[in-house]
Homo-oligomer: A and B are copies of this chain.
């Protein structure tokens, strides 16, 4: 992991590590890692101690997620005394075949050895967790070092394969009883609507505002936007997405429909497929369904184990936090319709030739689980509506109302970020 490329620089710092994660069945060797930049930044004083602490806490949660998703995370810290390091550099510099390996930066950092040691020791203490402990290896003697690394690796692989590893313990605690959760959907006034005349006036105005914001210098250089569309079948997600994209330069958005994951995606942690679609500066990614599938369909249909969807709330909040910290505006829409309106739309779809493909037996089956889905939605809103990335509940029985509110909300969110 050398210097980041410009594609990497225009995305959240963790993007390049997600990009390089090994799929199931493979080993990824990271030479330079998510620890490098927090430690170096702290040594050189470009971040405060509290920022380092926050980084380390977020690393701890990232690694826990990897372990919960089935990865074995093995961390080696090769220790060399200041004296031994100097000697090693001198040795390498002597031979023309190895002299290139010692750079000015290496010597510069050598001069800060004590400070590096101090910060690194702190980092190691904070991140040596039971699920991903540090192995500190004395590296002065090459043979001892190599043998020790090999032995430790073998031992950790054996222990993991023998199943001496308990995921359940680290699962999220059971959810507290919902307090106001049920009310969230029930309190919505689904009779909100717009007349054709209001719609014809308000929609272009909101789209114009969104368009102007999307071309602002600060947005193009420092911001990006992730929009999540969730809602029951036939809630109008597709139509709303088209009203958003109509306002954005076609070269600057992607619409990502989320269906069953591909084989490559299944071989990675479940958030991997979303990371790979993250927009660079000045760009939008619109998700037609999203990572919330984990706590909606996967929960209700039992595709994910309880411990897995339970820990997802926390993982999702971490994920969205890391997007927001990197300047990505995260806007999440839940489009709500009532059961009667859904039936009306299903029947209409069956009557209209070019809409018939949209309705499948799955849609009718999901409908039978309406209550279970409502419960899952309420828990989701309760646990993942954060101030940097709140849920916006959209009354969608009237499509016109929903579309205008969505475009306006999105424009407001971007404006607030600039």
Contacts and interface: CB of A to CB of B under 8 A. Distances in A.
A333 B205 CA distance: 63
Interface residues of A, number: 19
B31 A250 contact: yes
A322 interface: no
A7 interface: yes
A339 B97 CA distance: 39
Nearest to A208: B97
A280 B4 CA distance: 13
Contacts of A212: 97
Interface string A77-113: 0000000000000000000010010000000000000
Interface in A1-18: 1-2, 5-7
Contact of A264 (B1, B6, B263): B263
A26 to B, nearest CB: 10
A211 interface: yes
Q: Which of A2, A31, A97 has the most CB of B within 10 A?
A: A97
A22 to B, nearest CB: 12
Contacts of A31: 250-251
Contacts of A264: 262-264
Interface in A142-172: none
Nearest to A2: B251
A201 interface: no
Nearest to A251: B2
A356 interface: no
Nearest to A280: B5
A242 interface: no
A97 B2 CA distance: 43
A291 B261 CA distance: 27
A347 interface: no
A291 to B, nearest CB: 19
A369 interface: no
Contacts of A251: 1-2, 31-32
Contacts of A1: 251
Contacts of A280: 5
Nearest to A252: B2
Nearest to A23: B262
A217 interface: no
Contacts of A208: 97
A355 interface: no
B97 A211 contact: yes
A31 B250 CA distance: 8
A75 interface: no
Contact of A263 (B5, B97, B250, B263): B263
Nearest to A205: B97
A100 B5 contact: no
A261 to B, nearest CB: 10
Interface in A259-309: 262-264, 280
22 contacts: A1-B251, A2-B251, A5-B5, A5-B6, A5-B7, A5-B280, A6-B6, A6-B7, A7-B7, A31-B250, A31-B251, A32-B251, A97-B208, A97-B211, A97-B212, A100-B215, A262-B262, A262-B263, A262-B264, A263-B263, A263-B264, A264-B264
Given A32-B251, A97-B212, 11 more contacts: A1-B251, A5-B5, A5-B6, A5-B7, A5-B280, A6-B6, A6-B7, A31-B250, A262-B263, A262-B264, A263-B264
